[in-house]
Amino acid sequence: MTEPSDDELVRRFVGGEHGAFEVLVSRHERRVYNLAYRMLGRRDDALDATQEAFLACYRKLGGFRGQAAFTTWLHRVALNICYDALRKRAREEPHRDDPEVEPAPVDDPADASATAVDVRRALLEVPEDFRAALILHDVQGFRYEEIAEAIGVPVGTVKSRLHRGRVALARALRGERHGPLPPSNPQERITG
């Protein structure tokens, strides 16, 4: 038996089957989390944004008309939440925008290599709009047209942002390397 499609799950959820939404969440949470992590550069913020994105979808799904693919729509919602988080961060924590402040996620073996840490940091120096194009295309493999739909800009703009973002990232990687990471500081005692 084949897995139900996203569209089918959306239909079931709108029809009152709440369990269908859980399937959508488990199917897409990793991608959304990675998008948020690469956009925001911090795991706790990424976790918040991911939950917020799914909650927003949960509440808005009744109004989802299926013009776009569910994944595109979900990524648009997630991206908007990331933009909001970045705006809020700039407003409230101007100093924490410095990527040096954030310790490396030492318990993420997948992200532990020096290169991955460098790229994570350099990404945060790329302007947000370019960064979104880079993550969606070069990390997550979305097509230009899908990104255009998710971001709400013409396809040509996506390609242009992608190129400029790549150049900005390479320059950040080449010219602005950071020193050793500060030691990790446990910040989530309360979750234990």
Partner 1 sequence: MTDHPHDLLAEYVDGALGPERRAPVEAHLASCSSCREEMDLAARARHALAELPDVPAPAGIALGVRREARRPSRAGRWIAAAAAAAVLAGAGVIVVTRGLVGGGAQRAGGGGGGEAPAVPAETPRAEDEADGEATQESSGLSAAASSEAVVFFESDRDYDPTSLARLAPRLRARATESLRAGFAPTTERFFADLELDTVPPRARRAIRCASQGLPPDQPAAPFLIEQARFQGEPVYVAAFLRGPSPQARHDRVLIWVVSRETCTLRYFASQRL
Binding region for partner 1 (CB under 8 A) = 18-19, 21-22, 25-26, 29-30, 33-34, 37-38, 43-45, 47-52, 54-55, 58-59, 85, 92-93, 95-96, 105, 108, 110-111, 113, 115-116, 119-120, 134-135, 138-139, 156-157, 159-160, 162-167, 169-171, 173-174, 187-191
CA 116 to chain centre: 16
User: How many angstroms separate the CA atoms of 124 and 160, rounded?
Assistant: 19
**Element of type H or E holding 27:** helix 19-40
What tokens were used for 174?
A: 């080449």
- Closest to partner 1 by CB, 39 vs 67, is 39
* Min CB(62)–partner 1 separation in Å: 11
> CA dist 89 to 41, 42, 73, 166, Å?
12, 12, 24, 24
- Closest to partner 1 by CB, 36 vs 67, is 36
* Min CB(5)–partner 1 separation in Å: 19
